[in-house]
Amino acid sequence: MSEPLTGVMPKRIRFGSRGTVVGPMTQLAEERERLAGLHYEGFSVSQLGATIGGVIDGVDITSDLPDATIAELRRCLLDFKVIFFRDQPLTAERHVAFARRFGDLEVHPFIPSNTSQPELVRFEKEATIGGFENGWHSDVSWRAVPSAAAVLHAVEVPDIGGDTSFSDMYAAYDGLPTSVKERIENLVAVHDFSRVFGLSLDDDARAEMQVKFPTVEHPVVRTHGETGRRLLYVNRFFTLRILGMSETESDELMDLLCRQAETAEYQCRFQWKQDSVAFWDNRAVQHLALSDYWPQRRIMERASIIGEIPV
């Protein structure tokens, strides 16, 4: 732990005509120091980013863990927003069994599953199938009840490339100017699958899926169902527009809000190895998978835990 803050706080400064802002993100200090002081029963955690990301050591998630350890992992997930494990050779069955300890699992209607476990979606990318996950997003925000969390297992990864970055949406909200917070406090946005998953469907199939999964409305600023903290809940993949605004006004505000995920100080970046696992709180973070490994193979499998209606 560092010494308590004293004296005058350094301020961020803006220079040039393009609005570039530099300087220390002093608002991150309290959460960074809180995470540094946490302890858990049965395992240790190495902090990866300032306010996000913890690498777990001392837990074998391929085994049938006791309830007390599961409860501690849940607490750790809520604290660090995303947690990582190394050397976890999960079978499809054990992957699903571990994820199910944290809640009911969803079945994704668009991404192919592991053949033996429909709750697992399989991302298999190689020379003829590129990776298109390299944009900031939270999963399935187009659902009326989006997922609460996800467990992603690296089945096969390239020697270099394919890292995943995660961005803290609590920090993104906290870092907004007060005037912007007041402006967005009660706004609602429309979310839809079509811009992403609709690209692979013909007109008839897209219309059929739009009946099954119509557009939904979620608050621009939601309250986390377990921590009670406020966070930004819009993303470039699935959020179409903000209600009650002209298209131009909505686009400008959406761009401002979505750019917050791009702030490097809000992020952590995880370098995959075979049998690494990432377990993220899909409410509290957005993520981006780097698409820098083509034409090499990258195979991942994900189980997603059903969440709550965003409020």
pLDDT digit string, tens, across residues 216-246: 999 999 999 999 999 999 999 999 999 999 9
pLDDT at 114 over 80: no
| Within a domain: 6 | no
| Within a domain: 7 | no
Residues 139-193: pLDDT tens digits? 999 999 999 999 999 999 999 999 999 999 999 999 999 999 999 999 999 999 9
Which pLDDT belongs to residue 200?
81
Tell me what the mean pLDDT of segment 13-20 comes to.
Answer: 76
pLDDT at 53 over 80: yes
Residues 238-292: pLDDT tens digits? 999 999 999 999 999 999 999 999 999 999 999 999 999 999 999 999 999 999 9
| Within a domain: 147 | yes
Which pLDDT belongs to residue 5?
54
- Cα-Cα-Cα-Cα torsion 55, 228, 120, 83, nearest 10 degrees, comes to 0
| Within a domain: 311 | no
| Within a domain: 68 | yes
Domain that holds residue 128: 13-306
Residues annotated catalytic, as ranges: 137, 139, 287, 302
Residues 37-47: pLDDT tens digits? 999 999 999 99
Domain of residue 146, CATH code: 3.60.130.10
Residues 74-100: pLDDT tens digits? 999 999 999 999 999 999 999 999 999
Which pLDDT belongs to residue 33?
97
- Domains in the chain: how many in total? 1
